[in-house]
Chain A
């Protein structure tokens, strides 16, 4: 039988699973449903839960609703419980606290110092018995002082005015002192810093402050601050004092720059003079060298010429020595020949006094010009 209806069966079975679920739900007495066995055995289970589901919901509603209905009965016992739990929770909450790695905490019992605790999860008696104060003891704090005329301008040891802006880096190194010995230690650090800086600046001359004594100023301020803060028991350690600005006020800057310029000008003048010196001295040396070379040249030339002429004379003399008369005559005639060759000449007998020789100077000149 089931095999005959097997297409239905399977169809119904599928339908029951998928969409037919709700439809078949109404027909509880479906023939397939009852005849189904084996595979079909699942189907009634599918159908039944729908019935059960209603019941479950109803049941659930009933159960859900019942405490509400029964509230009046049970409430008297539960409210104090809840309040008690809340109080216990609050006590636990106020007994546990965490401290960050950067921080330390002190525990006060009725305001009295009990202990200092470090990072991690810590316990204390609940409020109001014990209270805690947490401070960042590892953190390095920074105060900037200056930036305005009132705070920046300071009198130097040589009664000039300098503008100083500086920063102080500090941290808590004794939390107990920091909290219990000084009121408002942060303000104290600032006031001490101002006072120390002015005292140190008052002991230095302006020139040094703005140039090479900057470092010694900061170390002096640090030292003086630390001494004072230790005296007050602030529990503060000054880590560093940094000079941000150390220069003269704006109204005198121009004149200070002019001093720098003056130094440059002076150097320029000296450089120019040196340049000039470097030019004229070698020039003079050159001239000197030239003069000496010339002289040497003159010497060489004159001496050589003299030697030459002397040598020539000696040679001529040697010749002359061999035949003095003839040579002398020859030399004389040769010379005169050469002299008179191209010249105008006139022969006058000195004895014949009858003739007055007339010499025309004009003509002579004209000839000479030719």
Chain B
């Protein structure tokens, strides 16, 4: 019986030692070992090869677990003035890592503390850096460059002697850089007027083109008609010339007879019904009226 009791006691002691003298560190964590509140060492710290697993400690040592991974802080949107006095709403996020667990614990205690401190640092950093450039550069021109600068400034601030957070700012990224509501309305108004202008211009250009087409067509039509007129007159002229030539050729055979012949033709046509003639008995026509032998 005595042997059994001692075995049980031994087992109990082993279990107790095991419980109080060991701890485990997760691959994703680093553990700060505190002895009566004083930081003694860090298990599985950042910067060294991963060393997670089962660890030993003195029974009175306390363990504080901190993350070893790349962490995010989603900042609250900051309203700031760009250098062109344009207000902007900037929503950014920060990625950081605890590189010195002791300093981090000392200065910030935990991730919530880090969130508070970094939020206020970021507020002023964003204002400083983005306040020096204009809206255009924030939105497009130098966004990547500016984010880089903000990261460097934040990193420097976080590790300055007065802060010494024991963190590394991996990246600062602007999620949103927008105009506040009132300014957005102004942009909408401008977009509308720009489009209206554009529409008017397009319509005017269409109208211009249409008129040009009409005018050109009218001109072409007029020219076509005029040219045809010219050509037709020429043809008629040629016709008259030819006619004259034909007549001249024929009538030149005997101009005197032509005069007589043509006169006869003309009388026949011109002097017809409805005309009253006063004839002289001396006329050739009546030469036999009084004299059967004629006057001659």
* Partner-B contacts on A (CB < 8 A): 108-113, 153-157, 159-161, 179-184, 187-188, 191-192, 194-195, 198-199, 202-203, 206, 228, 231-234, 248-249, 251-252, 254-256, 258-259, 261-263, 265-270, 272-274, 276-278, 280-281, 283-285, 287-289, 291-292, 294-296, 298-300, 302-303, 305-307, 309-311, 313-314, 316-317, 320, 328, 331-333, 335-336, 338-340, 342-350, 357, 359, 364, 367-368
Contact = CB atoms under 8 A, between A and B. Distances in A.
Contact of B143 (A110, A199, A270, A276): A199
16 contacts: A113-B52, A153-B178, A159-B136, A180-B69, A187-B72, A191-B72, A266-B207, A269-B207, A270-B210, A277-B213, A281-B221, A284-B221, A295-B236, A295-B239, A331-B264, A345-B279
Nearest to A296: B235
Interface residues of B, number: 109
B205 interface: yes
8 shortest interchain CB distances as A-B pairs: A266-B206, A288-B228, A277-B217, A284-B221, A299-B239, A295-B232, A310-B250, A112-B53
Contacts of A311: 250
B191 A248 contact: yes
A285 B253 CA distance: 45
A346 B279 contact: yes
A295 B188 contact: no
Contacts of B289: 347
Nearest to B91: A194
Contacts of A336: 267, 285
Nearest to A342: B273
Contact of A270 (B52, B69, B206, B271): B206
A259 B70 contact: no
Contacts of A259: 195, 198-199, 202
Interface stretch (B123-131, B161-169, B254-262): B254-262
A347 B279 contact: yes
Contacts of B239: 295, 298-300, 302-303
B240 interface: yes
B37 interface: no
Interface string B195-225: 1101110110111011111101110111011
A311 to B, nearest CB: 8
Contacts of A367: 274, 276
Nearest to A109: B53
B93 A307 contact: no
B96 to A, nearest CB: 10
A302 B143 CA distance: 90
Nearest to A331: B264
Nearest to B238: A299
B256 to A, nearest CB: 10
A3 to B, nearest CB: 81
B286 interface: yes
Interface string B262-296: 00100110011111111111101110010000000
B177 A298 contact: no
Given A265-B202, A303-B242, A346-B277, 6 more contacts: A109-B53, A199-B143, A255-B192, A266-B206, A333-B285, A349-B281
A317 B246 CA distance: 15
B210 A273 contact: yes
A45 B277 CA distance: 177
B294 to A, nearest CB: 11
A258 B275 contact: no
Contact of A284 (B74, B220, B246, B249): B220
A1 B187 CA distance: 125
Contacts of A317: 253-254, 257, 261
A258 B241 CA distance: 65
A280 B221 contact: yes
Interface stretch (B7-15, B24-32, B99-107, B152-160): B24-32
Nearest to B181: A149
Contact of B177 (A110, A155, A266, A276): A155
Given A183-B70, A298-B239, A349 B280 contact: yes
B222 A284 contact: yes
Contacts of A310: 246-247, 249-251
B191 A157 contact: no
A300 to B, nearest CB: 8
Contact of A180 (B27, B211, B235): B27
Given A228-B171, A276-B217, A298-B235, A113 B50 contact: yes
B224 to A, nearest CB: 4
Contacts of A255: 191-192, 195-196, 199
Contacts of B207: 266, 269
B217 A159 contact: no
A347 B214 contact: no
Contact of A368 (B199, B217, B274): B274
B246 to A, nearest CB: 4
Interface in B172-201: 173-179, 184, 187-188, 191-192, 195-196, 198-200
